[in-house]
């Protein structure tokens, strides 16, 4: 069938080909930072450019020395926060600080097909989607990492399967959805994220 042919073509594609196609549409220069830049500059760059990973590149050799992520920065702050004065906003709640999305939240249902979830990722430009049951309660999370797993396991030939079915592959190591509540303090949430290593 034509869909099978397209799947075989997908498997034959090389990253270089995808990069060429991507660059034809819109050229975006690599966002990176120097090892001499401050942590504040790094965090500002991550936020400003809406990225999750920031290469630290040696300006002389052009070599990548390190990849900075939100997770690594949070872990660093958690380890060394005791050595600096604690900002007062750490004791304020998520609601007070207006952190989070409180309306028009992109979600998928337990019976949502994968192809619909993929469309929501693209449309809303999010990295994860809460999976909610019929009563709207969060029961799981479907992330871009799970989408990459489709390609790694070559299970993308049936995008009609539900997200619940697609997530069954990771049930043996999945410890449940990490949640936060708007009445909790920023410090509490940072500690939870660092301890859970997410």
Residue range 62-66: average pLDDT?
93
Last residue of a domain, one of 83, 107, 138: 83
Please tell me whether residues 130 and 50 are part of one structural domain.
no
CATH number at residue 192: 3.10.580.10
What is the residue range of 128's domain?
86-197
Residue range 65-73: average pLDDT?
91
Q: How many domains does the chain have?
A: 2
Q: What is the pLDDT of residue 5?
A: 44
Q: pLDDT of 158-190, one tens digit each?
A: 778 888 888 887 656 667 788 899 999 998 998
Please tell me whether residues 15 and 46 are part of one structural domain.
yes
Please tell me whether residues 66 and 119 are part of one structural domain.
no
Last residue of a domain, one of 56, 83, 110: 83
What is the spatial distance between Cα 96 and Cα 89, in angstroms, rounded to a whole number?
9
Q: pLDDT of 1-21, one tens digit each?
A: 444 444 455 555 555 665 666
Write the DSSP assignment of 84-138 as a string of letters. SPPPGGGGSBHHHHT-S--SS---EETT-BHHHHHHHHHHHT-SEEEEE-TTS-E
Of 106, 99, 104, 110, nearest to 129 by C-alpha is: 106
Last residue of a domain, one of 62, 83, 104: 83
Please tell me whether residues 78 and 100 are part of one structural domain.
no
Average model confidence (pLDDT) across the chain:
82
What is the spatial distance between Cα 1 and Cα 121, in angstroms, rounded to a whole number?
27
Which of 78-87, 98-107, 117-126 is predicted with the least confidence, judged by mean pLDDT?
A: 78-87
**Number of Cβ atoms within 10 Å of the Cβ of 166:** 22
Please tell me whether residues 29 and 107 are part of one structural domain.
no
Write phi, then psi, for 5 (nearest 5 degrees).
-60, -45
Please tell me whether residues 115 and 45 are part of one structural domain.
no
Residue range 83-108: average pLDDT?
89
Q: What is the pLDDT of residue 19?
A: 61
Cβ(172)–Cβ(53) below 8 Å? no
Q: Is the model's pLDDT at 57 over the cut of 90?
A: yes
């Amino acid at each position: 069938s034509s869909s099978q042919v397209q799947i075989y073509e997908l498997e034959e594609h090389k990253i270089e080909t995808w990069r060429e196609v991507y660059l034809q549409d819109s050229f975006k220069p690599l966002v990176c930072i120097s090892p001499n830049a401050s942590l504040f500059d790094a965090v500002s760059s991550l936020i400003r450019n809406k990225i999750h990973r920031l290469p630290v590149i040696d300006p002389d050799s052009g070599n990548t020395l390190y990849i900075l992520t939100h997770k690594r920065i949070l872990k660093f702050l958690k380890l060394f926060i005791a050595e600096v004065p604690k900002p007062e906003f750490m004791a304020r709640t998520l609601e007070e600080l207006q952190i989070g999305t409180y309306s028009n939240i992109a979600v998928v249902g337990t019976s949502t097909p994968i192809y619909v979830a993929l469309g929501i990722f693209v449309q809303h430009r999010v990295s994860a989607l809460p999976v909610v049951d019929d009563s709207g309660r969060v029961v799981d999370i479907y992330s871009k990492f799970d989408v990459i797993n489709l390609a790694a396991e070559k299970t993308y030939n049936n995008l009609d399967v539900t997200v619940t079915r697609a997530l069954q592959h990771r049930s043996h190591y999945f410890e449940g959805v990490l949640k936060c509540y708007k009445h909790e303090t920023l410090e509490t949430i940072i500690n939870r994220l660092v301890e859970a290593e997410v």
